[in-house]
Amino acid sequence: MVLIPGGDFLMGTDEPSIPADGEGPQRPVHVDSFYMDIHEVTNQQFQTFVADTGYVTEAEKFGDSFVFEGILSDSVKKEITQAVAAAPWWLPVKGANWKHPEGQDSNITDRLDHPVLHVSWNDALTYCSWLHKRLPTEAEWECACRGGLQNRLYPWGNKLNPKGQHYANLWQGDFPNHNTAEDGYVKTSPVMSFPPNGFGLYDIVGNVWEWTSDWWMVHHTAEKLQNPTGPQSGSDKVKKGGSYMCHKSYCYRYRCAARSQNTPDSSASNLGFRFCLPSYLN
Ligand SMILES: [Ca+2]
Ligand SMILES: [Ca+2]
């Protein structure tokens, strides 16, 4: 883990690309120092947790989870008829879970250093408690994401690919039909495959979405807040950072100020988490 220095930072943006997501207004926020893990929780780490506790994830209990159509085998695809009307590339796949990310005919043997997938917010919370850690608040996550820079789109600056280099595992090409994988990866990448931000955090945008502890809302005060923890209740939890499926044309959410949401029992093939710890506990 690395120390994320506390202090004041500007959260959100006054130039929202997706206003409906509640990216604005830009607002001064204070967060206390805390430690954050430098990478997303990996399959290997989650495997250790399950071996120790016998934990069964929600996707395993439900018997299915959502997988991006573009990474499914033909035999799995053939068995599925149901899709999400607004996003037909998401398919509910029987037997998809953290051990079988693309359904029963897939496994994680060669992906132990990739981020764990198909973990719900509830699963992530249980993992964090087991480690005596916790999920970051949205404000902590965004402070960490910005890496000490102000008013920048991305953790490393305003240009997506400075000097032609890729700084995150995103989607290149035509979403959802053709992924050129110019950054080297069609699906998830091993954690720490791209350069870290100014705080030493890897894949803080891209690779997989990351759960935060906050409930979702889209109306924010412009007044200064101290260690905000979000609304008291809600129906969805905030996720940050975008994933390997994000492309500017469809999901321009690999910006520090961007955000999205899912219900706490949701799981998918592009959603994971990382943990943090208040600095006084380390
Ligand atoms: Ca990619
Ligand atoms: Ca990420």
What are the residue ranges spanned by the domains of the chain?
Answer: 2-278
Q: Are strands 34-36 and 276-278 parallel, antiparallel or unpaired?
A: antiparallel
pTM of the model: 0.97
* CA of 143 relative to ligand 2 center, distance in Å: 14
Residue 83: the pLDDT is 76
Residue 82: the pLDDT is 77
Residue 84: the pLDDT is 82
Residue 85: the pLDDT is 80
Whether omega for the bond prior to residue 25 falls within 30 degrees of 0, making it cis, is yes
* CA of 206 relative to ligand 2 center, distance in Å: 5
- Alpha helices by DSSP H, listed for the chain, are 43-53, 58-62, 74-78, 121-130, 138-146
Using the structure block, give the residue that is written with the tokens 């906050």: 214
Q: Which ligand is nearest to the CA of 272?
A: 2
* CA of 117 relative to ligand 2 center, distance in Å: 11
* CA of 170 relative to ligand 1 center, distance in Å: 4
Around Cβ 188, how many Cβ atoms within 10 Å?
A: 27
Specify the CATH superfamily of domain 2-278: paralog of FGE (formylglycine-generating enzyme) (3.90.1580.10)
Q: Which residues of the chain have pLDDT under 50?
A: none
* CA of 207 relative to ligand 1 center, distance in Å: 8
Around Cβ 40, how many Cβ atoms within 10 Å?
A: 26
Residue 81: the pLDDT is 77
Residue 281: the pLDDT is 63
* CA of 40 relative to ligand 2 center, distance in Å: 6
Q: Which ligand is nearest to the CA of 270?
A: 2
